[in-house]
Amino acid sequence: MKLFKIESIPKPGAIVYSTIVARSPFARDFYREVAEEVCSKIPSGRVLDIGTGPGIVPLEIARKSQNLEIKAIDISPAMVDIASKNAKDSGLSDRVQFQYGSAKRIPYEDESFDLVVSTLSFHHWAKPIECLKEIHRVLNNHGEAWIYDITWDITNAARRQLKIGTDGSYHF
């Protein structure tokens, strides 16, 4: 069987995904925990979220911290539209800038971030090594990258807790 990766999620998938994660208590808790970790690590500075999807993580970070400058990119234009609308609806458009961009060619200058964060996106990246080099490029000397992702190689108990089927499907 030939395996391929879907990088840019098309519009119908983007709408379904955004609706599901907005309603999932598991997703909400996870995003909140990530945002809290970010805000406790860096009280001020520049943060980039890669593969932001509907933008829940950067918007949560913006709610928790007034002193962070937050950028977010996604390779799916549909996701960028959804995230931008979520920012507008939350009154956070001036705090978080969403834009189209790939992890493989990050549209920012060298050493321009203190922290790069990414949730549930890494497994989509077709050229992960190139993407990691790009992340390294945009981080400053003291910068860190926090990449959160899931692995299919987990116990059934963990699968049940995460609500992931044995075929990799989500059951929120």
Q: At what angle do helices 56-64 and 77-89 cross, to 10 degrees?
A: 30
DSSP string, the chain: -------S--HHHHHHHHHHHHH-HHHHHHHHHHHHHHHHH-SSEEEEEES-TT-HHHHHHHHH-SSEEEEEEES-HHHHHHHHHHHHHTT-TTTEEEEE-BTTB-SS-TT-EEEEEEES-GGG-SSHHHHHHHHHHHEEEEEEEEEE---S---HHHHHHHTB-TTS-B--
Using CB under 6 A as the binding rule, the residues of this chain from 6 to 35 that contact ligand SAM are: 7-9, 21
Residue nearest to ligand SAM (CB): 53
103 forms part of the interface with ligand SAM (CB under 6 A): yes
121 forms part of the interface with ligand SAM (CB under 6 A): yes
Rule CB under 6 A: choose which of 42, 61, 116, 120 binds ligand SAM: 120
119 forms part of the interface with ligand SAM (CB under 6 A): yes
When the beta carbons of 68 and 120 are compared against ligand SAM, the nearer one is 120
143 forms part of the interface with ligand SAM (CB under 6 A): no
DSSP string, 54-98: T-HHHHHHHHH-SSEEEEEEES-HHHHHHHHHHHHHTT-TTTEEE
Q: Which stretch binds ligand SAM (CB under 6 A): 37-45, 84-92, 101-109, 150-158?
A: 101-109
137 forms part of the interface with ligand SAM (CB under 6 A): no
102 forms part of the interface with ligand SAM (CB under 6 A): yes
Rule CB under 6 A: choose which of 48, 75, 87, 116 binds ligand SAM: 75
When the beta carbons of 84 and 102 are compared against ligand SAM, the nearer one is 102
53 forms part of the interface with ligand SAM (CB under 6 A): yes
**Applying CB under 6 A, which residues contact ligand SAM?**
7-9, 21, 50-53, 56, 73-76, 79, 102-104, 119-121, 124-125
